[in-house]
Structure 1
């Protein structure tokens, strides 16, 4: 991982993804705990995703940007 800080757009996209996860979870009327149970993660990890903390997503965003393709194309 590069030692330079990530570009601002990466953290903004990460937060937007977290917001989308939260919105989808709430639409399904799931708690963070229940979603975690469904996917094999603990509540704290679900919370970190929703709060926009990440590492893998940062790398995927950078790869998609470098390839000039939408992130969705990498995760279909």
Structure 2
């Protein structure tokens, strides 16, 4: 059986990838962080942590961000 990467390292990498996908989607729409976090009803600091990959965020928060960005939450979670 192949060895899985260290959980902490893998989780950190995946969080950064999700944050990158959120940021790229937002920038393609020429939106500011402020416009997204206000519409999604997410605290500024929380949103910034999500985009930077530092937050271990709730599904509900990701769902709200996805809705504001007009994408399915799965698009934020998986590499295209």
TM-score (norm 1): 0.61
CA distance in 1, matches of 2:54, 2:32: 19
SS of the equivalent of 2:12 reads helix
Number of aligned residue pairs: 55
Structure 1 unaligned regions, length at least 5: 1-5, 58-71
Q: 1:16 to 1:44 in 2, by over 3 A?
A: same
Superposed structure 1 runs of 4+ greater than 2 Å apart:
none
Note if 1:35 corresponds to 2:61. Answer: no
Deviation at 1:54, TM superposition (A): 1.7
CA-atom RMSD, angstroms?
2.2
SS of the equivalent of 2:55 reads coil
